[in-house]
Amino acid sequence: MVERLNFEDEISSNKIKSVLLMGFIILVFILLGYIISAFTDPSLFFIIMIFSIIISLLYLWAGYYYSAQLALSSVRAQPASPTKHRQLLHAVENMSLASGLPMPKVYVMQSEQINAFASGRDPEHAVICVTTDALDKLNKQELEGVIAHEMAHIANYDIRFMTLTTILVGMVSIAAEIFLRSLWFSGNDREGGKGNTILLVIGLILAILAPIAVQLVQLAISRKREFTADATGVKFTRYPLGLANALKKIRDDHDAITSKDQHHYAKALAPLFIGNPYKKVSSFFSTHPDVNERIRILESM
């Protein structure tokens, strides 16, 4: 007998893993700060940190508060029509009631892919956008499964979580860049013999590898949030096969993606979609987990 997975356990497990991965990014940032302050003048460390925080906060203000408008504008989405898109609006209303969340604004974008995304800084400012191909090819249960997944992103405050993660990744990258440039322009004038040389080598390696490492961790966090949204979506619908069957259609549809259709999407927007809108890359470097693994977990619930 196959052991059934519990969606509550899946939600809890993936949330914990996401927080631990974010903790790793914070740890890298602290370690990088320690190396910078140990090798350079401590005052330089504070200047670097201040610049990193200011630049990151500016990104936060632009990306967080205007995320929904920017996302909708980039794909030329239009508000859903009460007559033409009645089934879509009904599905969103049902999932809004099931989740206890306010009814988000609903949009439709022209695309030859089955896809959808949610955006907005909180449930009161959330939007859901669905592609025309999804409306043509998904049945009622599949569409509700997709909408439940997107409502789950809203309920879990994933835009806020991923924005914070992006800020932390940006702070690490900015700090590393400033540190490397300060070494280039100032040279290594400090004395300290072998110990100082070892510290310099460690600092250089960390400054080069840290931005790459935290970006990979950011991708891992994005994948965990997708698993969490799948499980939370099942909590809303109580019917895992609806989303599982939708993902099967998205998987089959993905093989037919053309370069022309990919141009509908900005790459920065790709992590928001339920399915990666770009041609498959290694799951290690992907914003989305392997779709077959997602389907397997859903069918086990």
Question: What is the number of other CB atoms lying within 10 angstroms of the CB of residue 136?
Answer: 9
Which of the given ranges, 72-81, 139-148, 164-173, has the highest pLDDT on average? 139-148
pLDDT of 1 reads 46
- Which residues, including other chains, have CB under 8 Å from residue 264's CB and lie 6 or more apart? 75, 109, 110, 111, 113, 277
Residue that wins the pLDDT comparison between 281 and 10: 10
Q: Which residues of 222-256 are buried (b: 16+ CB within 10 A; e: fewer)?
A: bbbbbbbbbbbbbbbbebbbbbbbbbbbbbebbee
Residue ranges matching CATH 3.30.2010.10 in the chain = 69-158+223-299
Q: Mind listing the pLDDT tens digit for each residue in 229-252?
A: 999 999 999 999 999 999 999 988
Residue 186 has pLDDT above 60, yes or no: no
Q: Mind listing the pLDDT tens digit for each residue in 261-297?
A: 554 566 667 788 898 776 655 567 788 999 999 999 9
Q: Residue range 25-51: average pLDDT? A: 73
The letter for the amino acid at 241 is L
Supply the angle between the helices 240-254 and 140-155 in degrees, to the nearest 10: 100
Strands 127-131 and 116-119: antiparallel
CA distances from 122 to 68, 167, 200, 206, 251 (A): 10, 18, 44, 35, 29
Residue 193 has pLDDT above 50, yes or no: no
Q: Which CATH class is domain 69-158+223-299?
A: alpha beta
Residue that wins the pLDDT comparison between 64 and 301: 301
User: Per-residue DSSP letters for 8-67?
Assistant: HHHHHHHHHHHHHHHHHHHHHHHHHHHHHHHHS-HHHHHHHHHHHHHHHHHHHHHHHHTH
Work out the widest C-alpha separation in the chain, in whole angstroms. Answer: 77
Question: What is the number of other CB atoms lying within 10 angstroms of the CB of residue 30?
Answer: 10
The letter for the amino acid at 242 is G
Could you give the residue numbers annotated as active site?
150
CA distances from 66 to 161, 169, 181 (A): 15, 20, 32
Looking at beta carbons, which pairs linking 18-21 to residues 24 or more positions away fall under 8 Å?
18/161, 18/221, 18/224, 18/225, 18/228, 21/217, 21/220, 21/221, 21/224
Q: Mind listing the pLDDT tens digit for each residue in 76-113?
A: 899 999 999 999 999 999 999 999 999 999 999 998 88
Q: Which of 301, 160, 162 is nearest to 233 (CA)?
A: 301
Tokens found for residue 133? 């191909």
User: Per-residue DSSP letters for 230-285?
Assistant: HHHHHHHHS-HHHHHHHHHHHHHHHTT--HHHHTTS-GGGGGGBSS--S----GGG
Q: Please, what is the average pLDDT of the chain?
A: 82
